[in-house]
Amino acid sequence: MLWVCTVCGYVHEGEEAPEKCPKCGSPKEAFEALSEDAAKKIYDSDRTNDIHMAIVHYAMKIKALAKEGIELNLDTGCVDVFRKAHDEAWVMKQRSKAEIETHVGKGKW
């Protein structure tokens, strides 16, 4: 069963709500049980949300590597490839972040 903190939105999994919210410290009474449909949305989207977070993580690594390559300035061709990678990584990161926001708006967090 899933429970949501009505104060901060933290979602808890268990037979009953926690004694206090691990995020904001609100008491057990601040939690509401999620409906079966709402819980299903969260469970069904769990893996895709993880994938989006991994894409954001790797895009940040690509940006850092590309920045290093730009700073090394070996030659014009390399710098051009690194600049494109840097810019494309930003787009990938923002696209996945926007999709996560869409999921949250649909109760799939």
What is the chain's mean pLDDT, rounded? 97
Q: Does residue 89 contact residue 68 with C-beta atoms inside 8 Å? A: no
**Is the pTM higher than 0.85?**
no
Question: What are the pLDDT digits (tens) for 31-61?
Answer: 999 999 999 999 999 999 999 999 999 999 9
Local structure of 23: helix, strand or coil: coil
pLDDT at 109: 84
12, β-bridge pairs: 3
pLDDT at 34: 97
Question: What are the pLDDT digits (tens) for 73-87?
Answer: 999 999 999 999 999
